[in-house]
Amino acid sequence: MKILVVNCGSSSLKYQLIDMDNEQWIAKGVCERIKVDGTIKGSTADGRSFENDNAPMNDHTQAFSYVMKALTQGECKVIDDISEIDAVGHRVVQGGWLFNKAELVDDSVVEGIRELCDLAPLHNPAHIQGIEGCFSVFGKDVPQVCVFDNAYHSTMPDEAKVFGVPYELTEKYHCIRYGAHGTSHKYIAAEVARMMGRDDLKLVSCHIGNGASITAIENGVVRDTSMGLTPLDGFIMGTRSGSLDPSVVTYLQEKEGWSPKETSEILNKKFGVLGISGVSSDERDIQKAVTEGNERALLSRKIQRYQIRKFIGSYVAALDGVDAIAFAAGIAENTPSLREDVCNHLSFLGIKIDEAVNNATFGETKKISTDDSKVAVFVIATNEELMIARETKQIVEKL
């Protein structure tokens, strides 16, 4: 079975064609600058690649037609005909109060995603265009499945979900913690259970990329997660604020004259590591700046690592114990010093990191704690695309 996984961002569309017989990817790529001008680049597992900087695309539906061309024609052709694709799995950022599991796409699912656009104004409209792009290419012959980023978190108890907001408003606007990165945390939990040979685990899962979240998981079920109504909550990220005293927001709004829309844009795009350092949102640029002695880059790093440690500590309390901690995504998979810094300050939990293994682990799944560590610590090479393809397969097989 071949499954095409589609991930529509606000101005990008990432794709990956996966052979589910061996769970290996066959081809992948990304369309960028959608609605601006349009570029597409891609590669194949057997080492071919292409790049087209002149690919005008007005929306994700048009971007999708470039993807189909890339898979069936030219230097990165991997299939003769689109009929070789058995199903499409879409990553959907916000399933809100309407979806708590993956769903086969039909008109009511599309309407539901539309209804939730207020909660994910950049992403949900793009997902709908991606789905429409698929319908225009495949008609109704190829099943499409939506895998929602918040679905895995829907099991959280009310005390973790409900904010200190008047309950009438919570109910009226469905204003609760939904979380995000659920597909990644689910993959991480499954990998840790596989590595430890048991799934009755108290796990703190840290997905730390440009966007970042930490999740408390018990026996495979989410108990709490750091992202909230939207991905802004939690700890500082590349460009997002993370949790703030709410009066910081109203105070700055008044002082700077920001409208609610501007405030949301600024909190999402100009705060966090970028805002503190004034250098960049990208961890590699921060590493370079820290080496060059840039004080604000160093401050942003210290804040990020301190906040991660605080979240882990609070989730150990939420879980009343911890068996394993996992680090995943772009920054945590590739930055041994972050893992060491965070874990060395959690020594009261009996955590011991194997320094040599930690320093040699980049982007691969590995245990980095010593055998006598009281808590097992892992780096997990997270794979959201594969998880989406697995959930898509599960639904499609039953049709």
Which residue numbers are catalytic? 149
Least gap, CB of 71 to ligand ADP (angstroms): 22
Residue for token digits 């009438």? 168
Residue 373 interacting with ligand ADP (CB under 6 A): no
Least gap, CB of 305 to ligand ADP (angstroms): 14
Burial track 280-290 (b if 16+ CB lie within 10 A, e otherwise): bbbbebbbebb
3-state secondary structure the chain: CEEEEEEECCCCEEEEEEECCCCEEEEEEEEECCCCCCEEEEEECCCCEEEECCCCCCCHHHHHHHHHHHHHCHHHCCCCCHHHCCEEEEEECCCCCCCCCCEECCHHHHHHHHHCHHHCCCCHHHHHHHHHHHHHHHCCCCCEEEEECCHHHHHCCHHHHECCCCHHHHHHHCCECCCCCHHHHHHHHHHHHHHHCCCCCEEEEEEECCCEEEEEEECCEEEEECCCCCCCCCCCCCCCCCCCCHHHHHHHHHHHCCCHHHHHHHHHHCCHHHHHHCCCCCHHHHHHHHHCCCHHHHHHHHHHHHHHHHHHHHHHHHHCCCCEEEEEHHHHHHCHHHHHHHHHCCHHHCCCECHHHHHCCCCCCEECECCCCCCEEEEECCCHHHHHHHHHHHHHHCC
| Shorter beta-carbon distance to ligand ADP: residue 29 or 211 | 211
Half-sphere exposure of 123 (CA within 13 A, CB side): 20
| Shorter beta-carbon distance to ligand ADP: residue 9 or 96 | 9
Residue 341 interacting with ligand ADP (CB under 6 A): no
Least gap, CB of 123 to ligand ADP (angstroms): 13
Least gap, CB of 236 to ligand ADP (angstroms): 12
The answer to whether 218 and 227 have CB atoms below 8 angstroms apart is no
One residue of 71, 331, 387, 388 binding ligand ADP per CB under 6 A: 331
Residues 238-257 that bind ligand ADP (CB under 6 A): 238
| Shorter beta-carbon distance to ligand ADP: residue 233 or 283 | 283
| Shorter beta-carbon distance to ligand ADP: residue 335 or 365 | 335
| Shorter beta-carbon distance to ligand ADP: residue 119 or 227 | 227
Residue 122 interacting with ligand ADP (CB under 6 A): no
Least gap, CB of 181 to ligand ADP (angstroms): 9
Least gap, CB of 330 to ligand ADP (angstroms): 2
* Size, binding site for ligand ADP by CB under 6 A: 12
Residues 271-330 that bind ligand ADP (CB under 6 A): 282-284, 329-330
One residue of 44, 205, 213, 335 binding ligand ADP per CB under 6 A: 335
Q: Which range in 96-104, 206-214, 318-326, 346-354 contacts ligand ADP by CB under 6 A?
A: 206-214
Minimal CA–CA distance to 31: which of 60, 5, 71, 72?
60
| Shorter beta-carbon distance to ligand ADP: residue 17 or 237 | 237
One residue of 225, 230, 334, 383 binding ligand ADP per CB under 6 A: 334
| Shorter beta-carbon distance to ligand ADP: residue 8 or 329 | 329
Q: Which range in 70-78, 141-149, 251-259, 331-339 contacts ligand ADP by CB under 6 A?
A: 331-339
Least gap, CB of 283 to ligand ADP (angstroms): 4
Q: Please give the residue whose beta carbon sits closest to ligand ADP in the complex.
A: 330
Least gap, CB of 247 to ligand ADP (angstroms): 28
Residue 384 interacting with ligand ADP (CB under 6 A): no
One residue of 182, 209, 231, 272 binding ligand ADP per CB under 6 A: 209
- Binding residues (CB under 6 A) for ligand ADP: these are 209-211, 238, 282-284, 329-331, 334-335
